[in-house]
């Protein structure tokens, strides 16, 4: 069997720019991306790496306004990538009721709600704390027959959860084509495609209809300018706005901006350095 060597390039990038940085990396033929705290590890076959100019990558990131720095470049020996993938992608226990699991662990669980998610390698191997926090909020807020919007759907996990919790219809969108492809695959695996509508779109171009709830697992730089649009979407039905993807040290910024839009904090969950928030529109006299 032919052996291959690989190169890991570890790049310092703020987590809020991970999604945007994919616009650069998708132009390269890489094997995988693993997300860390304010860093991305991009793996290339050594033959592909030899064609690269790492300065070109940094310059492309800089053109998008993303500050970046090469932390390390490491050669690694041939691996069984399927084994590596399965080792990294492990089940996430959200609660007694909900578990998120890759296909290769699905038979191990009998939770009432079992969500099968097989992320594409391009999206990294880490299960985000922000997703787990959002799922915990949704567990008590998604009512049977309700309508929900999943902002920045990624793997589709939140849209799938909303469906399994009894939502009547879910509109899910993402601005990354690979996310949409992965979400389609995962929605089909969970047999919930009949009530989930997927669209390739960003927040500005998306049509946020009147809804009972919005689940937005996005970074602060996207959440703050979108608050008014989110508010208008939940206003008619006195709906719920859930926002995660916010680092604890940015909490005051989000809460201050939410107050300007008369969005009242109902609940907050935290884990490690992350926080998730539940807002409703406040009384007119607030």
Per-residue model confidence (pLDDT) at position 86:
61
| Structure confidence by residue, pLDDT tens digits, 138-180 | 999 999 999 999 999 988 999 999 999 999 999 999 987 778 8
Quick check: 131 and 157 in contact, CB under 8 A? yes
Lowest pLDDT segment from 95-109, 120-134, 230-244: 120-134
Per-residue model confidence (pLDDT) at position 186:
94
Per-residue model confidence (pLDDT) at position 280:
98
Exposed (0-12), middle (13-18) or buried (19+): which is 8, by Cβ within 10 Å? middle
Per-residue pLDDT at 216 exceeds 80: yes
Per-residue model confidence (pLDDT) at position 199:
96
45 compared with 95, residue with greater pLDDT: 95
Report residue 83's pLDDT band, with 50, 70 and 90 as the boundaries. Answer: low
Quick check: 195 and 167 in contact, CB under 8 A? yes
Q: Kindly report the CATH class assigned to 6-79.
A: alpha beta
Averaged pLDDT, 95-115: 92
Indicate the DSSP class of residue 132: H
Q: Which residues make up the CATH 3.40.50.150 domain(s) of the chain?
A: 136-281
Per-residue model confidence (pLDDT) at position 4:
66
Per-residue pLDDT at 118 exceeds 90: no
Per-residue model confidence (pLDDT) at position 156:
93
Beta strands per DSSP E along the chain: 6-12, 32-36, 39-45, 69-76, 92-93, 98-101, 113-116, 147-151, 169-174, 196-200, 213-217, 240-247, 263-271, 274-281
Averaged pLDDT, 5-27: 83
Cα 51 vs. chain centroid, distance in angstroms?
31
Report residue 81's pLDDT band, with 50, 70 and 90 as the boundaries. Answer: low
Per-residue pLDDT at 124 exceeds 50: no
> CA 243 to CA 130: how far, in whole Å?
9
Please give the mean pLDDT across all residues of the chain. 88
| Structure confidence by residue, pLDDT tens digits, 219-277 | 888 899 999 999 999 999 999 999 998 888 889 999 999 999 999 999 999 988 789 99
107 compared with 89, residue with greater pLDDT: 107
Q: Which residues make up the CATH 3.30.70.100 domain(s) of the chain?
A: 6-79
Q: Please, how many CA atoms are within 13 Å of residue 128, restricted to the half-sphere of its CB?
A: 28
Q: Pick one of 3.40.50.300, 3.40.50.2300, 3.40.50.9100, 3.40.50.150 as the CATH number of 136-281.
A: 3.40.50.150
């Amino acid at each position: 069997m032919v052996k291959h060597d690989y190169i890991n390039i570890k790049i310092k990038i703020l987590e809020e720019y991970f999604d945007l940085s994919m616009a650069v990396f998708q132009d390269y033929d890489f094997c995988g991306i693993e997300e860390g705290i304010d860093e991305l590890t991009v793996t290339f076959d050594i033959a592909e790496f030899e064609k690269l100019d790492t300065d070109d990558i940094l310059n492309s990131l800089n053109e998008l306004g993303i500050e970046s720095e090469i932390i390390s470049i490491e050669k690694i020996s041939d691996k069984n990538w399927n084994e590596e993938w399965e080792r990294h992608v492990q089940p996430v226990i959200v609660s007694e009721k909900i578990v998120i699991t890759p296909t290769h662990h699905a038979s191990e669980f009998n939770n009432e709600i079992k969500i099968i998610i097989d992320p594409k390698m391009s999206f990294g191997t880490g299960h985000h704390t922000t997703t787990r926090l959002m799922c915990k909020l949704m567990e008590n807020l998604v009512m049977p027959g309700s309508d929900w919007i999943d902002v920045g759907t990624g793997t589709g996990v939140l849209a799938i959860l909303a469906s399994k919790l009894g939502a009547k219809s879910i509109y899910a969108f993402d601005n990354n084509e690979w996310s949409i492809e992965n979400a389609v695959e995962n929605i089909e695996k969970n047999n919930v495609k009949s009530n989930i509508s997927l669209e390739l779109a960003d927040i500005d171009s998306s049509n946020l209809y009147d809804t009972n709830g919005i689940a937005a697992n996005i970074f602060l730089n996207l959440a703050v300018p979108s608050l008014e649009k989110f508010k208008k979407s939940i206003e008619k039905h006195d709906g719920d706005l859930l926002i995660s993807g916010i680092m604890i040290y940015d909490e005051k910024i989000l809460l201050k901006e939410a107050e300007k839009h008369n969005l009242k904090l109902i609940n907050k969950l935290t884990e490690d350095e992350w926080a998730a928030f539940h807002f409703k529109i406040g009384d007119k006299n607030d």
